[in-house]
Amino acid sequence: MTLKTKLFTALALVAITLNACKKSNPVLEPEVETILPEDIASFKETAMIDLGGEFASEISAYDPLTKKLFVVSNDGGTKVDVVDLSKYPTLTKLTTLTYANSVGINSVAVSNGLLAIALNGAISTANGTVVVLKTSDLSEVKKITVGAMPDMVTFSPDGNYLITANEGEPNDAYTFDPIGTISIIDVKNNYSVKNAGFESLETSKASLVAAGLRIYGPNASFAQDIEPEYVAVAADSKKAYVTLQENNAVAEVDLVAGTVTKIMPLGVRDISLAENAWDVSDKDGKVGQLGTWPIKAFYLPDAISYFSTGGSNYLALANEGDTRAWGGYDEEIRVSSKSYTLDATKFPTAATLKLETNLGRLTVSKAFGDTDGDGDYDEIYATGGRSMSIINASNGQLVANIGKDLEQRVIDAGKYEDDRSDNKGVEVESVTVAQVNGKTLAFIGMERVDHIAVYDVSIPATPKFVQLFATGDAPEGLMFVKPKDSPNGRSLLIVSNEADGTVRFYQPNKI
């Protein structure tokens, strides 16, 4: 054998060995997104479809394989409308899926050619169901029982798990309150289910409450009081993060073990600080008059979005401010109410504060603030952060809060609805974070002013305003489609508008 032949043989053996190693130990490279040159400040409506009246368009999910959009509708029934986007911007409604035995449909999600639909039970306090269909022919694959009132369903990024946030709201009389749980469905294991509860964390109740967790439902245990709302999943599909809206916290969930690992209370916004100024009255004769007041505000987040930048992981929270307002128990009260007595020592100007032109019209919580238990209120606690906040995903620490700037942008644009000053302000309902032209953008949906705000959060501690644009009436659900998955190869923001039944589509200009 010549030297040349020996060398060739040796190289061939090395190549064969390396190839064999690759097959036995595959290395999964992270997905690298191609940066499409797009102007991040130029999102505009490029298509729209009207699906009916109020509640005809609440939450949407898009399937890049079939170019179908699935839209939750509770307009005159429990339905999912199926819309064809294959000829975008031409949109065609294909069919409607109907689920008559449910009192409500809450959410949809898509992954790898599968559609998941979250349905309430026959009564709202009963266990719910997740129905899984093929997106190609809409045939049923599986029906899975989950906890009470699955308010949101989502797939993990790898498609191996389905996760539902089972809110477990009480009946209207507040005589029965189901426990709040997280259902973790193992797609690859014949859709087996683990229901993660919060019982094990009750031993930490005192320290969690001291940090801002709200536990206060009448006659409810710790596990019953917890109400999971919305889910975001880490990029590695190992952890989920769930907002506990009424409880003012975010829970961390270990998807592999199927357990809730911790609760991260969110504390409060101090509205006496200039950077947190609010408009608190709809009777002051001034539109969008932001000012400081001796009140604190629970964040009470609804939607949540997970994102990574600069080597760290973050959560974006839409601090909507929903409370417990039921026939059997209602925590809401106005500051001007005769039954809401302010402590004379803590509030020496109480009579002035109670005027309708000041704090009198503001909706607050009567469940909190009587710190010494003497029947009057030593602190005023408002409901909702009126903001989008960014927290560290690992420890829940506040990184940035987009509140005053957000509302001021709306005021300056002449779009502020002053009659909501006393309750939730612009009402930040939804948020999704995505990459556009190499920048990390937060899209913030404001239900009461019918607008989307865009902020550059590439440096999370210093968000930068990018754009404000109008959408339909009461934007409820936001979803972002990457250019590689989009029906026309460009970034696509899909907005489901609850009050007018439209779905609207927005794209940036090419550079």
Flag whether 282 is in a domain. Answer: yes
Q: Is the pLDDT assigned to residue 27 strictly greater than 60?
A: no
Residue 24 lies in a domain: no
Residue 286 in domain: yes
- Residue 255 CA from chain centroid, whole number: 19
Q: Is residue 129 part of a domain?
A: yes
pLDDT at 31 over 80: no
Full-model pTM: 0.93
**CATH number of the domain to which 380 belongs:** 2.130.10.10
Among residues of the chain, what percentage have pLDDT more than 90? Answer: 92
Query: Does the pLDDT of residue 287 top 60, yes or no?
Result: yes
For the chain, what is the domain count? 1
Mean pLDDT of 449-472: 98
The least confident of 14-23, 304-313, 381-390 is 14-23
Q: How much is the mean pLDDT over the chain?
A: 94
Of the pLDDT bands very low, low, confident and very high (cuts 50, 70, 90), residue 489 is very high
- Note the pLDDT tens digit of each residue in 4-16: 344 334 434 334 3
Instruction: Provide the token pair at 329.
Output: 């128990």
Q: State the Cα–Cα distance between residues 481 and 458, nearest whole angstrom.
A: 19
On the question of pLDDT at 21 being above 90, the answer is no
pLDDT exceeds cutoff 90 at 109: yes
Report d(CA 328, CA 486) in Å as an integer: 47
Q: Which domain holds residue 280?
A: 44-507
Q: How far is Cα 396 from Cα 389, in angstroms, rounded to an integer?
A: 11
Neighbour order of strands in the sheet with 114-119: 105-111, 114-119, 127-134, 140-148
Domain membership of residue 35 (yes or no) is no
Domain assignment present for 31: no
The mean pLDDT value for 465-492 works out to 98
User: Is residue 23 in a domain?
Assistant: no
pLDDT score for 34: 75
Closest residue by Cα to residue 449 from 497, 487, 395, 486: 497
**pLDDT beyond 60 at 365:** yes
pLDDT at 28 over 70: no
Q: What whole-number distance in Å separates Cα of residue 475 and Cα of residue 414?
A: 18
Asked whether residue 110 is assigned to any structural domain, the reply reads yes
pLDDT in tens, 327-348: 999 999 999 999 999 999 999 9
